Structure 1
Amino acid sequence: MNTTHLTAPTQFIEVDGASFAYRRWGNTEGPNPPLLFLQHFRGGMDNWDPLMTDGLAANQEVILFNGRGVASSTGTPRTRIEAMADDAAAVIRALGLKQVDVLGFSLGGFQAQDLTLRHPELVRKLMLLGTGPRGGKPGHDDKDIPALVYKHATQAVPTEDNFLFLFFGRSQAAIEAGNHFWERRHQRVDQDTPSSPAAMQAQIEANLHFLPALDDAQPFGHLEKIQQPTFILNGQDDVMIPTINSYYMAQHIPNAQLFIYPDAGHGAQFQYPERFLGHALQFLNE
């Protein structure tokens, strides 16, 4: 029986005083290295879409991963994106890997950028979904949206309505796509442990420290140091990390390509999973 998102066992690896949870499966016969997934705010391994993870696993091995103190991983949650990226690098090396492809979504995209900048030798290709750079635009043009984002993102037990507001477009078709995602996301029987309130607060602090520019005169100058081929995706109207940030990254990362999906929000890859797989596989296999 082939291992899938629904059956891949949860494993643990001890690194620097913490036990990091991960799941690993997929095609090990091709030329591509494993693809490491870095997850969104509060998200664990079961917040990914099985259609997406299994579709990519048919192409190359995939590794789902929880950072320090997140969901089923142990340890004190990190309050800096740089430290989260260093943890990811340490886990990559502890798994005996010399290089990986990296897919970062939202907060995971912040980590993916710092992982690539701080440990460039570990990253072959970079995928940034629904995310933004240091020094980017922090809030939505509609002044009422940030308060609604905070309300939906910080519920003790996130509901389908929270995910629909944060991740999906507003049309009936977008809502239906969100409903289908929600069903797929809950198919696995032994679901990952929800992230703790402490992990949520640590990630809020890390997000706030990530937002300011490193250099006010050249706020995106650091992106020019990312030499890896880079895939950037967002929805037409991301209420969490404004879509304009994806343009900023595409303009300043030298070898970047940008995809904007229509009638979509923060989780464009979940709203259009088949379209995303087509674009992602072409990028990864080029």
Structure 2
Amino acid sequence: MTLVLQAQGITKRFPGVLANDHVNFDLEQGEIHGLLGENGAGKTTLMNILYGLYQQDEGEVSINGKPTRIASPHEAIAHGIGMVHQHFMLVPPLTVTENIILGQESLQARTKFLGRLAALDRRSAAQRIRELSHQYRLDVDPNAYIKDLPVGAQQRVEIVKALYRHAEILILDEPTAVLTPQEADELFIIMRELVKQGKSIVFITHKLREIFAVTDRISVMRGGKMIGTVMPAEATSEMLAEMMVGRKVILMIDKEPAKPGHTILRVENLRVQDDRRATMVHEVSFDVREGEILGIA
């Protein structure tokens, strides 16, 4: 076992809130370590400390066995840590290449061209992006505009951006919150490819199905504390749910069959086009009846 990242006794206080309470966490080389917990459990706070967005009040972080103070995201990147946030850090009017190299321009370029991207070697950057995209099966077009990309593709751009900066450790903060189930499954394939090629991933989520689908280890946080770490093969959904909330949870809901009434909404042959006249919805019809919950998948 080779630890690439270790946090010991991490404590973080905000006014009136103990967000992290002497938390221990580690990440092994080439693994996907799931960090599970309810909203507000302290997961993102811990990862923001590891990425340099916050500074811990107590505790120590080590990278590859060396104690390290991470004072900023710039320092985290220098130590090989990349983070993909739940809300993407992308500029919609710019291309994929421009977004990825933004902030990477040379001092000469910033001085001579007042920060504009015109002086950057976009051609070589685009080629590197193509190489990373092919290597990790990310399917990213360096010339596409962010505003034209679906959410799943924008997320892949964020992953490429971290890899472009030589990240060896990737922190994915609730990455499936904005994805469809199909897009989530595609992300899991990408994550497996990343660790197959030597990367290490922290996967933050509160969804039990996902934690079993892709992780090698599972750590659970509750109320700012680390409750425990288990192997997926040794865990059950009931066990993890109890660790998350601190009590037994009934995961199956026993409900009576619905008795819907008359139709209160009817949609027939709905068609929708975007501003480029591409068809987004084609010939969709459905009814909603009184007293029912209609799911659209």
TM-score of the superposed pair, with normalisation by structure 2 = 0.28
TM-score of the superposed pair, with normalisation by structure 1 = 0.28
Higher helix content, 1 or 2: 1
